Amino acid sequence: MPASNTEQNDMFFPAVQHGVPAIVLAPMDGLTDAPMRAVHTHIGGFSFTVSEFIRVAQELPPARIFLKEVPELTAGAKTPTGCPVQVQLLGGDPDRMATSARLAVKLGARGIDVNFGCPAPTVNRHDGGATLLKYPDRIQLVVRAIRDALPPEIPVSAKLRLGWESVDDIHLNAEMAALGGASWITIHGRTRMERYLPPAHWEPIGEVKRNLNIPVVANGDIWTLDDLRRCQDVTGCEHFMLGRGAIANPYLAGWAAAEIGVRGTSHEELTAPAPEEWPELLSLLVSYSAHYGHTGENSILCRLKQWLSLASRYGNFDRFDLLKRSATAEELFQLMGADSALCILQQIRQHQKPHKLPEASVPDSQEDMDGCLLECSGLSASLIMQTV
């Protein structure tokens, strides 16, 4: 079975539609880069992913920035297992945002998302992200400028928070995004001032969904399958974006996809990854990091610790205290008994070039996927594929 739900015309992005459930991997700056997107779409369950934001400021981002941040643009805007990647832009100037969107599409983007939700103070001080929530008319202008600049088959969406301070602001802001031409919106169930404080407020998301004629993707505090069910009950949504919960438990997306009836998924609810499964999961990250040219060992070590820290804080990984003081990736893998990952590190040291993976296409069968993974990293793929 393919690792991602990509049974769509290859010419078009799989737009969010009424009656077609979807699970989306959230954009998380500094976390869900190309290697991490590749890992989680390989494990399975996601309908598509959204890139980390590309900042559109006074000086427009050149092509090299797009290709650095979203290298999937050179492969049909898809991850190596064929899962579509939507490019996210962040900025407040309609003309510059439209120009950058045109460049992204010229480079291969098949869908554009606009970030109106980032709560980072530095971003907000420079007229980006959640700052726009204070100016509903500007949300409409930015979305409209991008929509009018692109071919009609390229969907434009918007990601919003409930408001800057008040959850009630979402009603007007969502309406402005829709009037601007957004094909769908994603709503994170917190205000900017709440940052990531629990709980997320799902009720306003449901109110918007009932009042808006475009699809609404629910986001925020979906850590477990029970959370997904409660969010679905409260909001009435059939589309969900998973963030930290999916990183902490890499199997969550597969369970969620099956739960809401995403086509081509049939997952049984399992426990989160057992300790003996994590070496294989981390080996995937090392392999895909090498594939995208991220071969610095300090960088790899930081990414491994970042993932395990999230899995420890929000999942059931209970060995992080043992591993967090590892001085090298090699030491971390030795402590975990991750021989396959050690092998990949040795290959990186020998060749010092991106690890070559098979062509970025969706395998026709589980056997094909097993073969792809064995070819690219020497791993035993059976454990990973149990959840696909």
For the ranges 37-41, 288-292, 317-321, the one whose mean pLDDT is highest? 37-41
User: Considering the domain boundaries, does residue 72 fall inside one?
Assistant: yes
Q: Which residue has the tokens 């297992």?
A: 81
* Phi, psi torsion values for 185, nearest 5 degrees: -130, 150
Percent over 70 (pLDDT), the chain: 86
Exposure string (b/e) for 26-61, b if CB count within 10 Å is 16 or more?
A: bbbbebbbbbbbbbbbbbbbbbbbbbbbbbbeeeeb
**Residues 242 and 309 grouped into a single domain:** no
User: Considering the domain boundaries, does residue 269 fall inside one?
Assistant: no
Q: What are the tens digits of pLDDT across the range 232-250?
A: 999 999 999 999 999 999 9
Give residue 12's pLDDT: 67
Residue 24 has pLDDT above 70, yes or no: yes
Residue 353 has pLDDT above 90, yes or no: no
Joined tokens for residue 237: 């949504």
Give residue 343's pLDDT: 87
HSE of 149, CA atoms in CB hemisphere, 13 A: 22
How far apart CA 130 and CA 8 sit, in angstroms, is 32
Residue 268 has pLDDT above 90, yes or no: no
Q: What are the tens digits of pLDDT across the range 149-185?
A: 999 999 999 999 999 999 999 999 999 999 999 999 9
Give residue 338's pLDDT: 85
**Residues 252 and 279 grouped into a single domain:** no
User: What angle do helix axes 329-336 and 339-351 make, rounded to 10 degrees?
Assistant: 160
**Residues 244 and 322 grouped into a single domain:** no
Where a domain ends, among 198, 227, 260?
Answer: 260
* Count of structural domains within the chain: 2
Give residue 14's pLDDT: 75
Q: What are the tens digits of pLDDT across the range 96-140?
A: 999 999 999 999 999 999 999 999 999 999 999 999 999 999 999
Pairing type for strands 156-163 and 184-191 reads parallel
Residue 94: give its domain's CATH number: 3.20.20.70
User: Considering the domain boundaries, does residue 205 fall inside one?
Assistant: yes
User: Considering the domain boundaries, does residue 367 fall inside one?
Assistant: yes
Q: What are the tens digits of pLDDT across the range 55-70?
A: 999 999 999 999 999 9
Where a domain ends, among 232, 260, 288?
Answer: 260
Domain that holds residue 118: 22-260
Give residue 266's pLDDT: 67
User: Considering the domain boundaries, does residue 238 fall inside one?
Assistant: yes
83 is catalytic: no
H-type helices in 82-235, by residue range? Answer: 94-107, 121-125, 136-149, 170-179, 203-211, 225-235
How far apart CA 131 and CA 171 sit, in angstroms, is 16
**Residues 83 and 32 grouped into a single domain:** yes
What average pLDDT does the chain have? Answer: 87
**Catalytic annotation, pick one of 83, 118, 231, 237:** 118
Give residue 269's pLDDT: 58
Q: Which of 3-7, 20-24, 309-313 has the lowest mean pLDDT?
A: 3-7
Are 104 and 62 spatial neighbours (Cβ–Cβ below 8 Å)? no
Sign of CA dihedral 245, 247, 251, 257: positive
Give residue 383's pLDDT: 27
How far apart CA 365 and CA 1 sit, in angstroms, is 5
Give residue 274's pLDDT: 86
Whether omega before 275 lies within 30 degrees of 0, making that bond cis, reads no
Give residue 348's pLDDT: 82
Residue 325 has pLDDT above 80, yes or no: yes
Where a domain ends, among 260, 286, 316?
Answer: 260
Are 112 and 153 spatial neighbours (Cβ–Cβ below 8 Å)? no
Q: What are the tens digits of pLDDT across the range 189-201?
A: 999 999 999 999 9
Give residue 363's pLDDT: 34
How far apart CA 200 and CA 178 sit, in angstroms, is 23
